[in-house]
Amino acid sequence: MSSKDVLKNATTLASYNVLLQVMFRVLTFLLNAFTLRFVSKELIGVVNVRLTLLYSTLVFLSREAFRRACLSGGAEQNWRQVINLLWLTVPLGVLWALVLGCVWLWLLEAPDPQAIPHYGPAVGLFALAALQELLAEPLWVLAQAHMFVRLKVVAESLAMVAKCMLTMVLVVSTPQWGLYIFSAAQLAYTGFLVLCYAAYFLRFLSSGEAEKKSFPLCCVRDLLPSRGRGESLVNWKLARLIWSFFKQSFLKQILTEGERYVMTFLNVLNFGDQGVYDIVNNLGSMVARFIFLPIEESFYVFFAKVLERGKEVRSQRQEEVAMAAEVLECLLKFVLVIGLVITVFGYAYSYLALDLYGGSLLSSGTGPNLLRWYSGYVLLLAVNGVTECFTFAAMSKEEVDRYNLVMLALSISFLFLSYLLTWWQGSVGFILANCLNMGLRIAHSLLYIHRYFLHSPWAPLRGLRPSPVLIFALGLSAALTALSEAVFCCDRGWLLRLVHIGVGAGCLLGVLAAVWLTETRLVHFIRTQLLSRYTKKET
């Protein structure tokens, strides 16, 4: 597969993933708004922070390293050995379930059983849901490596719809079940996910379609662990790379979910405050999950296939390096513009957004200030996602090992800063600590990219320089929307609220016009490599 084909498939995957994330976040957005009216914020805090942290930690530590390592070799590798490695995620998940389950049940403070019943069984059920999802891991990696872009969309869409529908029905009909409601919904989600992947590959491998597409596996039996004649059970070079990524993934998980770990283990906020923080956090990260995460996941596959890991630029095929540099520059400009827009407009519209979403429960306390700070944090999230996406795809195994030490230092400093800043500034301290650590991660990635292209004709970091016209449009919009909030919003009736919204819409149109007129390369990239892929068929 040529680098151009890889780019087309990667952008198609990114486009479908964006649509998937939009649907997920919209459904979660509506589900949270619905459940807020039937359950307490303390219950939401336990589910969305304590139990979701158990689930995400178990899944991440069990599979993240396998995903990164097994996708690095692309589709042209010994898939029998790769499948054998991927099935190790299940026993590893069982081990983590036992360890984490003991921690969650006996080391952490349990919620009041009168207010939040069934905590112990819920811990076991969320761990079981995570193990159930790991059963689909070999199929997920196969689908990603061979660009089965629509499979992920269909599987996760059906699973998410099933989860939302079950949650809504149980919340209305049996609210006394408490945590059992959300445990059953999580089991339904992972169950649908596994069934969809299994059904697809059963049909694909038994229909003869796999042979037509030169798929490396011939029958359903090949999906199970097996040993080829005259070859080792696993690829030990790949296994060592997995170990390197495993050490890194453990640290990255602390950075990704750091505030939840601090809330869970250090008890800096009560369950009610945790619930409010999590809702604001989810609302603030909607666009990040809509766009930035799918781009990071999809273009990591692109960079990993186009670039040769650990080799200097001059030792690789120059046309492929040139394409990677051009894509990186456009991606940086794309996420930078989106991040700046969110930062500028998030300041003036945080209060209104929370008031419309959750009423005074969210807008009367620290919620608006939290969302304003989070709007600035989104800008750092945007840049970091793309820079680390490229860096991890280009690093050698030795560089990955050295970076683990950097991640260790960042993890320790993040936990310390989170506790210190939360004690000083409350919930906002979590966002401040995230901003500081994200800035350090970006600095490391930018330095790596600068050195990587230093002796080459390409300078993809130019993507971080917006045009002067765009900077002026953003600055003017920030001033006008802040003035509009002070004059028209938000306790003066719906008519003035609509005026405030109209001012924001006008300013946003001006910013988009500035992008269209001055960022022509970016506009061309979006039109040719992102938007045009929504209608492409699976290859």
426-460, pLDDT tens digit by residue? Answer: 788 888 988 998 999 999 999 999 988 888 888 88
- Tell me, what's the pLDDT at 7? 64
Using a pLDDT cut of 90, give the percent of the chain over it: 29
Mean pLDDT across 219-233:
78
Cα 303 to Cα 296: distance, rounded to the nearest angstrom: 10
pLDDT tops 50 at residue 174: yes
Residue 185 in this model has a pLDDT that exceeds 90: yes
Q: How far apart are CA 494 and CA 491, in angstroms?
A: 8
Annotate 430-478 with DSSP letters as a single string.
HHHHHHHHHHHHHHHHHHHHHHHTTTSS--GGGGG---HHHHHHHHHHH
Residue 475: how many CA atoms within 13 Å on its side-chain side?
Answer: 7
Average pLDDT of the residues in 271-277? 80
End-to-end Cα spacing for the chain:
11
**Helix residue ranges, H only, 46-147:** 52-72, 79-86, 89-102, 119-134, 137-145
Instruction: Count Cβ atoms within 10 A of the Cβ of residue 535 and give its class: 0-12 exposed, 13-18 middle, 19 or more buried.
Output: exposed
* 187 has a pLDDT exceeding 70: yes
Q: Is residue 422 scored above 90 in pLDDT?
A: no
Q: Which helix (H) or strand (E) holds 211?
A: helix 209-212
pLDDT at 534: 41
From CA 534, how far away is CA 525, in angstroms rounded?
14
pTM value surpassing 0.75: no
| CA pair distance 115, 117, nearest whole angstrom | 6
Model confidence pLDDT, tens digit, residues 5-29: 666 666 666 666 666 666 666 777 7
Report the chain's C-alpha Rg in angstroms. 24
| Of 411 and 64, more confident | 64
pLDDT beyond 80 at 149: no
Higher-pLDDT residue of 317, 210:
317
Which residue did the predictor score with more confidence, 11 or 125?
Answer: 125
Residue 1 in this model has a pLDDT that exceeds 60: no
pLDDT at 172 over 70: yes
Over the stretch 495-508, which tens digit does the pLDDT of each residue have? 888 899 999 999 99
* Mean pLDDT within 178-206: 92
Answer for the pair 394, 303: CB distance below 8 angstroms, yes or no. yes
For the chain, give the mean pLDDT. Answer: 84
Q: Which residues contact 130 (CB under 8 A, 6 or more apart)?
A: 54, 55, 58, 59, 62, 93, 97, 190
The answer, yes or no, to whether residue 489 has pLDDT greater than 60, is: yes
Question: Rounded to an integer, what distance in angstroms lies between the CA atom of residue 525 and that of residue 328?
Answer: 11
Instruction: Report the alpha-carbon distance of residue 148 to residue 6 in Å, rounded.
Output: 13
pLDDT, residue 538, reads: 40
Contact 511, 477 (CB under 8 A): yes
| Cα-based distances in Å from 170 to 51, 107, 163, 164, 493 | 18, 30, 11, 10, 36
> Residue 539 — very low, low, confident or very high, per pLDDT cuts 50/70/90?
very low
Q: What is the pLDDT of residues 499-534, one digit of tens each?
A: 999 999 999 999 999 999 998 888 888 887 765 544
pLDDT at 5: 65
276: closest CA among 207, 363, 196?
Answer: 363
pLDDT for the residue numbered 26? 74
C-alpha dist (Å) from residue 120 to 117, 163, 182, 261, 299: 9, 21, 13, 19, 40
* For residues 235-243, average pLDDT: 84
Integer angstrom CA distances of residue 122 from 31, 52, 128, 181, 259: 20, 11, 10, 9, 22
- The answer to whether 210 and 217 have CB atoms below 8 angstroms apart is yes
- Distance from C-alpha of 30 to C-alpha of 286, rounded to nearest angstrom: 12
Mean pLDDT confidence for 477-494: 85
The length of the chain in residues reads 539
pLDDT exceeds 90 at position 104: yes
pLDDT winner (highest mean) among 21-35, 104-118, 126-140: 126-140
Bigger pLDDT: 37 or 277? 277
What tens digit of pLDDT does each residue of 58-73 get? 999 999 888 888 887 5
Spatial separation of the C-alpha atoms in residues 474 and 478, rounded to whole Å: 6
Report the helix count and the strand count for the chain, using DSSP H and E.
Answer: 23, 0
Torsion of CA 368, 369, 371, 375, to 10 degrees: 130
The span from the CA of 301 to the CA of 7, in Å, is 9
Taking only the tens place, the pLDDT of each residue in 296-306 is 877 887 888 88
